[in-house]
Chains A and B, each alone.
Chain A
Amino acid sequence: MNEIFHDYVFDFYRKMKINQINLIYEGEVTHQITKAFTALTEENMAKDAEPNGLQMKVFHIIVESLQNISKHAQNLRGIESDLKGIGTFLIAKSKTDYFIIAGNLVHNEDMESMINLLEKINKLDKKGLKLLHKEQMKEGKLSDRGGAGLGFIDIARKSGQKLSYDFKSIGENTSFFILTTQIPRLKIS
């Protein structure tokens, strides 16, 4: 019986190494988890002597990605109680980029508005994003869960990349939403 676990762990270890995954988490995303992951990543990036600007970008995108999970997962509360606050989170690092990957369940009814926003963001250039951010700062209100509607916009601005996302269908009413943010390690401007 234990053989299965041993094989699983070994396989898991090798896959993590091959895909250059530094951290992987599946479970409830709490504020404590956010603090732990940011502290750990900061420590690792300092050890690798990454430039300050890059460290802050990665830090920022980790915080926003995790807070997205905790907020959206919170929205499911009361409807599917076993799903609340749960998400999957990965950090990978290649020679050229950091990758922050966040996954969580969403209701299919919320998918359309999410896609609209993500696509709207992906069509904008740097200047357009700046304007959208400004607009949202002025018009947007903090939601009950403390979301400012700025998370995706900010992730796109800080990373300087298009938002790469996917919805994987799970059952009739829910999908698994995945957002991958790629942050170039070499300065691009």
Chain B
Amino acid sequence: MNIIKIEGQEDTPKIVFDPSNDIFEISGRSLPEDAAMFYEPIIEWLQNYSQTPNDHTEMHIKLNYFNTASSKLLLDILMILEEMVEDGKSCIIKWFYDEDDEDMEEAGEEYSELIEVPFELLTY
């Protein structure tokens, strides 16, 4: 399967989805000019992947900032994992936050309440 590799910019996150190496990572900051346009191909890729996923998918999220438009699309991404879990696939979300960053910790907690996927909150 093809991979997604997008280098992070000052306003867009780094994204690596590489199933053959078991890497699924979104990191950095996210405040794109057009969040829907930025995330569209990523969501589409993940939807395709979810049809024939690996035995186990471990999504790492290491964002230090995202705006509200991105927060909604991030939920869309995590909901694809939720569908995978509903289909009996094994998934886990690891949410990394700076230990001083209460807002990011809280954001992680809230996502964990919104979706039914094994969820771990970890500091970095």
Interface string of B21-35 (1 = CB under 8 A from A): 000000000010111
B-chain residues with CB within 8 Å of residue A59 when the two chains form the complex: 65
Closest Cβ–Cβ distance, residue A189 to chain B (whole Å) = 9
**A137 and B114 within 8 A (CB):** yes
**B33 and A142 within 8 A (CB):** no
Decide if A52 is an interface residue (CB 8 Å cutoff). yes
Number of contacting residues on A, CB 8 A? 28
**B36 and A67 within 8 A (CB):** no
Task: List the A residue with the shortest CB-CB distance to B98.
Answer: A52
Number of contacting residues on B, CB 8 A? 25
Task: List the B residue with the shortest CB-CB distance to A39.
Answer: B10
A-chain residues with CB within 8 Å of residue B68 when the two chains form the complex: 64, 148, 150-151, 154
**A53 and B71 within 8 A (CB):** no
A-chain residues with CB within 8 Å of residue B69 when the two chains form the complex: 67, 142, 146-148
**A134 and B113 within 8 A (CB):** yes
**A134 and B35 within 8 A (CB):** no
User: Main secondary structure on chain B at its contact with chain A?
Assistant: helix
A35-B10, A134-B110, A158-B103 are known contacts. Are A140 and B67 too (CB-CB below 8 A)? no
**A146 and B36 within 8 A (CB):** yes
With contacts defined as CB atoms under 8 Å apart, how many contacts are there between chain A and chain B in the complex?
62
A53-B103, A146-B35 are known contacts. Are A137 and B98 too (CB-CB below 8 A)? no
Interface string of B47-80 (1 = CB under 8 A from A): 0000000000000000011011101110100000
A139 to B18, CA, bound (A): 31
**B65 and A56 within 8 A (CB):** yes
**A60 and B75 within 8 A (CB):** no
Decide if B101 is an interface residue (CB 8 Å cutoff). yes
Closest Cβ–Cβ distance, residue B28 to chain A (whole Å) = 14
Interface string of B80-117 (1 = CB under 8 A from A): 00000000000000000010111110000010011000
A63 to B29, CA, bound (A): 12
A147 to B36, CA, bound (A): 10
Contacting B110 at CB < 8 Å: which of A64, A133, A142, A151? A133
Residues of B within 8 A of A (CB): 10-11, 31, 33-36, 64-65, 67-69, 71-73, 75, 98, 100-104, 110, 113-114
16 contacts between A and B (CB under 8 A): A34-B31, A39-B10, A52-B98, A52-B100, A53-B101, A53-B102, A64-B68, A67-B69, A142-B35, A142-B69, A142-B73, A146-B69, A148-B71, A150-B72, A151-B68, A158-B103
